Amino acid sequence: MNRIGHKAARSTGVLILAAGQGTRMESSIPKILHPVGGRPIIYYVLRVANALKPAAIGVVVGHEAEEVKKAILQIAKDCGISRPLQFIEQKKQLGSGNAVLESVPFLKKFSSAMVLCGDTPLLTYESLASLHRGHEEHKAQATLLTARMGNPKGYGRIVRTATGDVLKIVEESVATPKEAAINEINSGAYCFEVAALLSGLSQIGAKGPKGEHFLTDILELVRTKGGRIIAHLSSNPEEALGINTRVQLAAAERIINRRMLERLMLSGVTVVDPSSTHVDADVEVGQDSIIEPFTILRGKTKVGSKCRVGPFCFIEDAQVGNECEVRTSQLRGCRVLEKCVIGPYSNIRPESVIGPRAKVGNFSEVKASRVGFGSKVPHLSYIGDTDIREDVNVGAGSITCNYDGKLKHKTTIEAKAFIGSGTMMVAPLRVGKGAVTGAGAVVTRDVPDGVTVVGVPAKPIVRGGGK
Ligand code: UD1
Ligand code: MG
């Protein structure tokens, strides 16, 4: 594959425009930081830019610049953005043309530049690589990625001559009805010969109701100076989707989800009903796992192979080992090790580790606790700040009373202990190895190994004590 920063002599920089406020989102959050597929919109643009291996990536920031920079640096760290990253400040958001004008010192370092909008997360590596290839092969001064949209509303329209050459891009706010009827639109992804770009940039005037400088006006300027402009029509119009409103955000979410589900299915995961299944962009699922309907896998969730997950599961930032069954349950920030059975209706909360071969069942909640090898919490329990060792059985309705109103306390239940139904374990507490609590016991003191306690408050049964 032709990497775009390959030859130093004809090096390419990528410039991402991300300074806009995103007024149409009606939000206090900068537009490009809104999550889609579990990641900020800008993440996808940075990821595809990085994959192209340009000489450097410049990001134009302006609205809430500090917050945006911080988020981008975090993304770069999390996702291994390997190309040199540089921020360019656009002091006033005077339009995309002005954003590029402010970037001249960055652009000057390269012979060609790819310009992308920060709000187009669906652009694919293949399209951008071929956009760049076409640009270089034709020795064009400007090459743009276009698409035919069923509903072109809101996008810049591509006006062509009778012979099919690109004449100009007309923004909707200044388009004539005839121009507005054109369904070929500008995706906002372009390659420029830097010299041609720089020679026209400063001539872009203010236009439209807000007096903005439209980057798209550069094409007409390049053309009138004798430059060659090429339009590269995308075969897949959905990738040109730009997010200006929350309606478009939801449309992008649907597409990212579909792409993700297709990737999982093609890698050997059964998704019983893709239309009711939601999987974020970074989720991993192993081969021969089955995802049942109405299941949501979010964030950095990893599910092993040969698992059955769903129906009706919500799993976020959690790891599920191989051969687990998780039904109608919520798992967040926890680890479920192999061959466990979870649910129905369990809530496994952050910092919990379950298994291997453990069971947490009907209406049981586990918080910041370990449930050891082969142990069972099958019915109606609350287990908090607890270490349950191996082969423990926790009877129905048992609770670790971890909170005294001021502080949280820990409970340890040693191996092979048997907790009778409805036991209240008042922490801090240690229930010894092989110890037993009777049904309904309220255990307020440590239970030594092998001892059985009953009653309220629970006391040891004295065996052979006589009458
Ligand atoms: C833009 C294009 C339009 C194209 C569409 C594709 C222009 C004038 N129009 O319209 O032809 O069809 O994208 O999605 O470019 N930005 C800045 N500084 C500014 C203004 C904007 O950095 O002063 C950034 C924004 O953060 C955004 C990008 O430029 O990432 C595009 O701006 P936006 O307002 O979304 O333009 P559109 O109306 O979508
Ligand atoms: Mg936009």
Ligand nearest to the CA of 171: 1
Give the distance (Å) from ligand 1 centre to CA of residue 197: 17
Looking at the chain, the whole-number percentage of residues with pLDDT higher than 90 is: 94
Tell me which residue has its CA closest to atom 16 in ligand 1.
20
Catalytic residues: 379
Q: Which of 21, 31, 32, 117 to mutate to test the pocket of ligand 1 (most atoms within 8 A of CB)?
A: 117
Q: How far is CA 143 from the centre of its chain?
A: 31
Closest Cα to residue 244, out of 19, 15, 68, 26?
A: 26
How far apart (Å, rounded) are the C-alpha atoms in residues 58 and 110?
12
Residue 3's pLDDT is 64
**Minimum CA distance residue for ligand 1 atom 28:** 117
Residues 236 and 176: their CA atoms lie apart, in Å, by 27
Q: Which ligand is nearest to the CA of 249?
A: 2
In the chain, the domains with their CATH numbers are: 2-240 (3.90.550.10), 262-460 (2.160.10.10)
Between the CA of 229 and the centroid of ligand 1 the distance, in Å, is 20
Average pLDDT, integer, range 270-291: 98
Nearest protein Cα to ligand 1, atom 31: 117
Q: How far is the CA of 226 from the centre of ligand 1 (A)?
A: 26
Q: How far apart are alpha carbons 422 and 437 in whole angstroms?
A: 10
- Identify which of 23, 24, 5, 2 has the alpha carbon closest to the alpha carbon of residue 14: 5
Task: Give whole-number Cα distances, 319 to 106, 286, 299, 359, in Å.
Answer: 42, 11, 11, 16
420 CB near ligand 1 (under 6 Å): no
Lowest mean pLDDT among 175-179, 279-283, 431-435, 459-463: 459-463
Phi-psi group of 6: left, alpha or beta (phi > 0 → left; psi -120 to 50 → alpha; rest → beta): alpha
Query: Beta partners for 424?
Result: 399, 442
CA-118 nearest atom, ligand 1: 30
Ligand 1 closest atom vs CA 154: 38
Nearest-CA residue for atom 35 of ligand 1 = 244
Has residue 466 got a pLDDT over 60? Answer: no
pLDDT for 208: 79
Q: Is the pLDDT of residue 186 over 60?
A: yes
Tokens of 401: 């009373």
Distance 253 CA to ligand 1 centre (A): 20
Query: What pLDDT score does 209 carry?
Result: 83
pLDDT at 8: 43
Closest ligand (CA of 156): 1
pLDDT (tens digit, 9 = 90+) per residue, 221-250? 999 999 999 999 999 999 999 999 999 999
Answer whether 159 contacts ligand 1 (Cβ < 6 A): no
Cβ atoms 213, 231 nearer than 8 A: no
pLDDT higher than 90, residue 462: no
Reported as a single tens digit per residue, the pLDDT across 334-369 is: 999 999 999 999 999 999 999 999 999 999 999 999
**What pTM was estimated for this model as a whole?**
0.93
304 lines ligand 1 (CB under 6 A): no
Pairing verdict, β 424-426 and 399-401: parallel
Is 186 near ligand 1, meaning CB less than 6 Å away?
Answer: yes
Q: Which atom of ligand 1 is nearest to the CA of 185?
A: 12
Average pLDDT over residues 75-95: 95
Q: Which of 420, 427, 460 is nearest to 441 (CA)?
A: 420
State the average pLDDT for the chain: 95
For ligand 1, the distance from its centroid to the CA atom of residue 458, given in whole angstroms, is 70
Question: Which atom of ligand 1 lies closest to the CA of 92?
Answer: 23
pLDDT, tens only, 102-132: 999 999 999 999 999 999 999 999 999 999 9
From CA 334, how far away is CA 344, in angstroms rounded?
A: 17
List the beta bridge partners of residue 12: 112
Q: At what angle do helices 65-78 and 41-51 cross, to 10 degrees?
A: 50
Q: Mention every residue, 6+ apart, whose C-beta is less than 8 A from residue 18.
A: 32, 42, 45, 59, 60, 61, 68, 72, 118, 119
Q: Is the Cβ atom of 295 under 6 angstroms away from ligand 1?
A: no
Mean pLDDT of 76-97: 95
Is the Cβ atom of 170 under 6 angstroms away from ligand 1?
no
103 lines ligand 1 (CB under 6 A): no
